Amino acid sequence: MRVKAVVEYEGSEYSGWQIQPNAPSIQEELERALEIATRSKIRVAGAGRTDAGVHAEAQVAAFDVADDVDLYRLRASLNGITGASISVVSLEPARADFDPRRDAVARTYRYTIVHGRPRSPLLESRAWHVPSSLDVAVLQELASTVVGRHDFRAFRASDCGAETTVRRVRRSVWRPADGVLEYEICAEAFLKHMVRVLVGTMVETALGKRAVSDFPRLFEGAARNEAGRTAPAKGLVLVRVEY
């Protein structure tokens, strides 16, 4: 039986989703729990390879188990085995060829910033602290520029191995509230570090370190060193995956 899983996790203690040598990962922890619960080695596939320190509200994964497995009991077992920072929210049967990565039509990420105030202890592991106040109007203007089909070559990690750097963004918006800013972006697919470099570049522009007029030029195939810094991983959350 093919199973679709929705997994929530706090990624601070992990090297990311994908199994890494000598470093804990979400995938490895789930496969360990499945082996204990089912007494079988089971490979887990994920919808996206979140980076080290990145969190997820609804990462989608898939794996195969025997047809007679009770998914309600399996979910309880997995949540009893995994650490407190990982929760299997749901398990449900899926079609035999379900692929959580290739079948996805859109992914939504959210990035949180605490700005213009002292650090927030409650958001320390979930947000980037920027001591200075950010110009929200500038951020909104920049975010609207991101929507559409663009070349995001300037907004990817130097070791990103994607064959094409063109992506189509469906939604890009900043939401301000009492010293906290949330950036939400939805696209069909993302490049490695794409959201974090976008956020880092927009923040530098909102702080007056870059000209607003320079931002659109970065979508014309500019080199990575022409964009801004990579925002810290801890502020990023995978919100949902659509099929």
How many C-beta atoms lie closer than 10 Å to residue 201's C-beta?
Answer: 24
* 217 Ramachandran zone, left/alpha/beta (phi>0; psi -120 to 50): alpha
Q: Active site includes 64?
A: no
**Residue 136 and residue 174 in contact, taking contact as beta carbons nearer than 8 Å:** yes
The candidate with the shortest Cα–Cα distance to 189, out of 223, 163, 159, is 163
Give the DSSP H/E element, type plus range, for residue 185. Answer: strand 180-187
**Residue 228 and residue 155 in contact, taking contact as beta carbons nearer than 8 Å:** no
* 146 Ramachandran zone, left/alpha/beta (phi>0; psi -120 to 50): alpha
Tell me which of 51, 99, 103, 135 is the catalytic residue: 51
First to last CA, the chain: 19
Q: How distant, in Å, are the alpha carbons of 91, 101, 104, 191 from that of 60?
A: 10, 8, 9, 18
Three-class secondary structure of residue 108 per DSSP: strand
HEC sequence for 157-179 = CCCCCCCCCEEEEEEEEEEEECC
The candidate with the shortest Cα–Cα distance to 87, out of 65, 59, 122, is 59
Question: Among all residues, which ones are annotated catalytic?
Answer: 51
